Structure 1
Amino acid sequence: MKVNKLVYLLSILFLSSYIFTETDPLKNLNQKTHNLNQTLDLQVASPVARFYKRITPDFIEIGVTNFTQNVEDLSIGVNNILQGKIKSGFSDLGRFTINSTIGIAGFLDIASDMGLEKHDEDFGQTLAVWGVPDGPYLVLPGLGPSTMRDTLAMIPDAFLTPLWLIDHDRTSYSLTTIDLIDTRARYLGLESVVIGDEYLFYRDAYLQSRQFEIQDGQIEDDFDDFDDFN
């Protein structure tokens, strides 16, 4: 049954790539959602994040960041393996194991000191490697920029996040809230780099950064075309 549901979701995603011929066919709806998100960020998320940074000692803030990033390594490792990057995948799983034990639940990043590199993968990137198209651009309420592919990919990624595996709801929700606050705090100040139309800036920045991540930082160029003139 679960396999059939996954096939169904992927078929919807493939179909959407043919139905929507432009990157942002839902622009009107996306702009409204973007404006709502900006209002929520201005009135709630940003003030909470600033208060958190103001009252939290640096060493605790670093520890919390290490903890929240450590819980991602399990999903990152699995996705690296699914993408065929076996060595990186086992390195990520090693990071998760070491930091979750010796690193006191991830508050200490012992793995980086041991030379295990931190990667950044998710199931959206895995689907892209498998050839699944990104589908239309979406702005999700409270979450921000995404695509049809990346939105559907959040489901399996959530099941691979240890915070959701905690059987105690209050603890799970509390740790997830801390994760969100810490993430927002790390991006404070980036508003100043926005140039021109805010909606278009966030959209294009997201789509370009996702392509950069999918290609593992390898930027394609057309400079080889000039070899014929040499």
Structure 2
Amino acid sequence: MGRIGAGVIERVTQACVCAGLLLAPMAATQAATEEDPWEAVNRPIFRFNDVLDTYALKPLAQGYQFVTPQFLEDGIHNVFLNIGDVTNLANNVLQLKPHAAGVDTARLIVNTTFGLAGFFDVGTRMGLQRNDEDFGQTLGYWGLGSGPYVVIPLLGPSTVRDAFAKYPDTYTRPYRYIDHVPTRNTVLAADVVDTRASLLSAEKLISGDKYIFIRNAYLQNREFRVKDGEVEDDF
């Protein structure tokens, strides 16, 4: 699996399935045309991504989950979450959130050392709850609007703002700095499969028009995260 392909598929599954998991009760069934003016183009791209996931990535994830003991699967997942804390730290610094940045730093130190490179999530057991930040949220924090909803080939659900924000986040990922190509691709592939396996149980929460469900869940999830949970209750 190539470097680009692996990173791309990771975003497909993470954005699509995780959004449905986090906001399944909130996903409306009506189209939000003002937020999705490019629906006629987005839907075919969504179908392409969905077919790719159904016949390529999902079977790999199911096989991985079947052969991997639960304790090992959890540990591998924790390692990749520990790597992601670098991204959280960088964006919390950019958002001028010293407390959150301090928590990210403490988690990285504790989990990398006592947690054996993050295999054990010691930080959470110590009360250091994991943050979830990215550069798209940083831009939103400083007032940049999301722009229209867009489905990117292989990358999945996004907005104009979040699509451009994906690239800066790559500088906080270790893969960019691994010069040995086979090693880099192996680690990337493992990250992709692990992420997809951890989200298999979320698919049962998706109902109705899958495109609309995921779109609305994604948009509401992004608004919730950008505003740190301080959103108006539409209900």
Sort the TM-score into its range (normalised by shorter chain).
0.7 to 0.9
Aligned position for 2:192: 180
CA distance in 2, matches of 1:86, 1:126: 14
Q: Give the deviation of 1:93 after TM superposition.
A: 1.9
More moved, 204-213 vs 187-196 = 187-196
User: Partner residue of 1:35?
Assistant: 47
- The runs of 4+ residues in structure 1 deviating greater than 4 Å are none
- Assess, with a 3 A threshold, how the Cα gap between structure 1 residues 222 and 184 changes in structure 2: closer, same or farther: closer
Q: Which residue of 1 aligns with 2:140?
A: 128
Corresponding position of 2:35 = 23
**Structure 1 pair 65–194 and aligned structure 2 pair: CA distance change class (3 A):** same
Moved more, 108-117 or 71-80: 108-117
Specify the structure having the higher radius of gyration (Cα).
1
Paired position in structure 2 for 1:192: 204
Identity of aligned residues (%): 44
- Unaligned segments of structure 1, at least 5 residues: 1-20, 224-230
The one-letter code of the counterpart of 2:114 is: I
| 2:164 aligned partner | 152
Q: Residue by residue, what CA displacement relative to the aligned partner does 1:54-85 show, whole Å, maximum 9, x if unpaired?
A: 00001110111101111110110111121121
Distance in 2, matches of 1:46 and 1:66, equals 20
Number of aligned residues = 203
Q: What is the TM-score with the length of structure 2 in the denominator?
A: 0.81
Mean alpha-carbon deviation: is it higher for 100-109 or for 78-87?
100-109
Q: TM-score, normalised by structure 1?
A: 0.83
Give the residue type in structure 1 aligned to 2:173.
T
One-letter amino acid of the structure 1 residue matched with residue 118 of structure 2: G
Q: RMSD between aligned alpha carbons?
A: 1.7
Partner secondary structure for residue 200 of structure 2: coil
Q: Residues 1-230 of structure 1 correspond to what in structure 2 (within 5 A)?
A: 22-221=34-233
CA contact (8 A) 1:71 1:163 kept: no
What is the CA-CA distance between 1:222 and the residue it aligns to?
7.8
Q: Which residue of 2 aligns with 1:17?
A: none
| Per-residue CA distance 1:36-61 (angstroms, 9 max, x = gap) | 01101110111111101000001110
Q: Is the 8 A contact 1:135 1:147 kept in 2?
A: yes
Q: Between the two structures, name the one with larger relative contact order (CA 8 Å, sep ≥ 6).
A: 2
Please report how far the alpha carbon of residue 203 of structure 1 lies from its aligned counterpart in structure 2 after TM superposition: 0.5
